[in-house]
Every structure is written in structure tokens, then in C-alpha cells.
Amino acid sequence: MPQKKPQVVVTRKLPDAIETRMMELFDVSLNLSDEPMSKSQLVEAVKNAEVLVPTLTDRIDAGILAQAGDKLRLIANYGTGVDHIDLATARSRGITVTNTPDVLTEDTADMTMALILAASRRLSEGEKLLRSGDWTGWSPTGITGHRIYGKRLGIIGMGRIGTAVARRAKGFGLSVHYHNRHRVHPDTEAELEATFWESLDQMLARMDIISVNCPHTPGTYHLLSARRLKLVQSHVYIINTSRGEVIDENALTRMLKAGDLAGAGLDVFENEPAVNPKLLEMDNVVLLPHMGSATIEGRLDMGEKVLINIKTFVDGHKPPDRVLGEAF
């Protein structure tokens, strides 16, 4: 007698190839409209599913999990970050949580370097000028930005992505500095010629470019607070491809407007999809719609990870990408 397929609820539209494979393997409910689920829809999903496949747009908090049915045993997150899931409540209810690490590392690191270049060389301003029809030709003083070669880059969070950013930065001639909860292996430090700063405050005061690459956890919420941002020198560019909540966005906006920072490159926002209207008015800020990991290859790789995690779990084994705790 064929084994009953597990009930899987997917909260957002995934690549066609991944959805097709899911349909072959599991009893799947898909979200073909690709609209984020409402709270009531999420409650209905956790009541009926054996496996939930959410994304970062779904807040799976204690209130949602309190209404989960006894069947729900796995939350196979489509994405690396899990700050939208109440891990403690999931754990207390015996629900395993998995994510999709590693596959987004290179894509996000590429976007970080793109924002470093875009912000410091004023690429967004140049593109707007050209499209406006107001460009009158080359000028010795036209749209002058700043060279990144020889500058100091301070990386906050030297995990997989931070390390990948450091490798790229070294190739561009940047001096690599980092702050992390734990010092990286000496061989990695030697390879990257990276300088470790135990004190984040001291590092911030001495950098030319700051890149946020740590996850959002209770410990990193507003890690770049108004107090810490004031330690930064006025010629600095701040780049964030991690999570918006790591930076006090209102404080950052005030400093950018006042000229206390040279500029910023932001792919994430504290209250996204809402963006501080004042940021939208500034020429010295490059703004992207959370597309740091948005490559076709990356999205397919994420889906493959989800499939493996579900299939392994259903077969009675420990999924390879179980989320065990915080990392910074």
C-alpha cells in the first residue's frame, strides 16, 4: 500500500520547477497568487499542515504557533534568515525548523560589493542624470565620487556572507576589518589580511565603509543604534544587505540628511516594504527592494534545499539544515 503523502502548505509562489517537484513528492497547497498570507490564512495553514514552507514575509509568532495542529512537525523555511519565526515556541511544541543556508552567500556578497561601488561612486545619481536628459557632457567636476581602493572596510558579522564580502573587498584593494561575536580562524584572517576588532565601537570610529552582514536576532536589533552611528566619521558610507532591523533607520536617516554621513546603500529596511519617505528624497542613498539574493540560480538552489529538508524529515531522519540557535 503506497505511503500517504505529507500535507505541505507553501505560503508564496516558488519557482515553477520547485513547485512541480513538490507536487510530485507531497500533498501540496500552493499560493498561486503570490500575495503574502494574512494572519488568518497563516492560522489556517498551521492548523492543517504537516509541513509549512514560509518565507520572510510570514510572521510565524507565538500566537500563530499556539493555534497549530498536532500534525505540524516541520517548518521548512524558504530563506536563510529565520527572525520571522518564533524559534523558542516552535521548539517547545516539538516543531523542527530548517532554513536554506550557503546557497545565497555569493549572490548577497555580490550585491554588497555592488552597493559599495554604487554608493561611493554615485552610480544612481549618474544614471538619473543621464535619463533626465539634462546631461551636457563630461566635466572635470561632474558627479565625482570616492575611490574605494585603499579604504578601510568594517564588516559587522563575519559569517559566510561577511567572509565572502571580505574576499571580494580584498580583490578591490580594500583593507578588511571585522567585528564578530567570535574571532574567525587564523588561516581565514591571514588569507583575507583581516583585522579583528573586539570592540564594535572602536571599529566604527575608524572605518571608511561599514557593511552590515549579521543576522537579525534579539541581540542585534538596532546594533547600529543612534549612539553608535554618532561614532562614525562623516565621510563614511553604510551598506546593509542583511536585515533592516539591525540599524536604527530613523537615526540613520537623520544623519544622512544632516550630512553626518557621506551616504548609504540599503537593500533592506526596518519596516519593509515601507521605506522612510525621507530616504526616498535623498540623492546620497542607493535604495534597492530587498533583491540581494534575487538570482534565478539562487532561488532554485533555495527550493532544492527546502525539498531535501522536507524529504529527509518525512523519511524519519534529521534534516541537514536544522536551525539550532543564534549566530553572530
> Rounded distance, CA 138 to CA 140, Å?
7
Contacts of 29 (CB under 8 A, 6+ apart): 7, 8, 9, 10, 45, 49
Which cell numbers hold the place of 46?
A: 498551521
Query: Cell 499556539, residue?
Result: 66
Strand pairing report for 7-10 and 285-287: unpaired
Catalytic residue among 152, 290, 304, 326: 290
DSSP state for residue 261 in the 8-state scheme: S
Helix (H) or strand (E) run with residue 156 in it: strand 152-156
297 CB neighbour count, 10 Å cutoff = 10
CA distances from 309 to 71, 133, 144, 154 (A): 17, 52, 49, 35
Distance, in Å, from the CA atom of 261 to the CA atom of 271, rounded to the nearest integer, reads 22
Beta carbons within 10 angstroms of residue 60's beta carbon? 25
- Annotated catalytic, 179? no
**Would residue 216 show up in a list of annotated catalytic residues for this protein?**
no
Contacts of 313 (CB under 8 A, 6+ apart): 51, 73, 74, 76, 96, 98, 319
Angstrom distance (rounded) from CA 231 to CA 223:
13
191 is catalytic: no
Identified catalytic residue from 50, 243, 245, 299: 243
Q: Helix, strand, or coil here: 276?
A: coil
The active-site residue out of 19, 44, 125, 272 is: 272
Catalytic sites, residue numbers: 243, 272, 290
